[in-house]
Structure formats: C-alpha cells, structure tokens
Amino acid sequence: MVAGRYRLPKACLLRKNREFDRVYRHGRRLHGKGFSLIYTPGIADWNRLGISVQKKTGRAVDRNRIKRIIREAFRLHREAFPAKSDIVMTVRPGFSLRSPAEVRSAVVGLLRGDSGSV
C-alpha cells in the first residue's frame, strides 16, 4: 500500500516528557546550523521524532511552521534519519531551513559529517 508509506501516525512521534528525557540523557548529539539532532536506539521497530523549538526562535506562528516543515521532512524522508531510533530535533535561533527538502539535505549532511558535526 503506497499511501501507508507516506502517513505519519502518532506512534512515530515522541510525545511524552519521559521519552524526550531518555533521548536527552542517552542520545548522541550532532550540531548543525541553527539546530541539533539528538538520537538514541529506540524501543520501537521504527523511527520516532520529537521536535523542540525555543521561544527565542520567534513568534508562535513561526515556531509552528518550523515544526510542520520538520515533520513533513521526516514523513517524506524517514530513510534519511537514523534507523530504529528515537530522534529529537532541537531548533535554535538562526534556523534558516524553509522547506522539507532543505531539512532533509541538512540532516543527511550532518549524519555524514559534512557540516561540522560534533
């Protein structure tokens, strides 16, 4: 079923504080321009994504748009993210990616080590 591949069910999202805390405590951190990717092996057989956007990043409208773009990138390009992992993408002021394709390429570059990861 092709349509099912492109869905993003709630089971693919981190939603509880304890899930975020587990990733923050045990995860590997990679830093990009205006964002960080923190990931750890997950408890599920699929990737799960959590998004954290600082209030300093802008108005609520701007923060929500950033979250939508990141979710869309994850939905369309799950293979670009670490497999079977719980992932938290933290966004800081200076985040300038404005499309899912830009987010995907930034994540791929970060995982390859192309963009100065730590």
* Distance (Å, whole) CA 35 – CA 116: 12
Give 12-112's CATH code, choosing from 3.40.462.20, 3.30.70.260, 3.40.50.920, 3.30.230.10. 3.30.230.10
Q: Where are the domains of the chain?
A: 12-112
- Whole-prediction pTM: 0.87
Task: Please say if the pLDDT value at position 1 is more than 50.
Answer: no
Strand partners, 86: 40, 48
In this prediction, residue 7 has a pLDDT band, given cuts at 50, 70 and 90, of confident
Give Rg (Cα) of the chain: 13
Task: Please say if the pLDDT value at position 60 is more than 70.
Answer: yes
N-to-C CA span, the chain: 39
Predicted local distance difference test score (pLDDT) of residue 50 = 97
| Cβ neighbours of 29 (radius 10 Å) | 14
Average pLDDT, the chain: 90
Mean pLDDT to the nearest integer, 38-45: 94
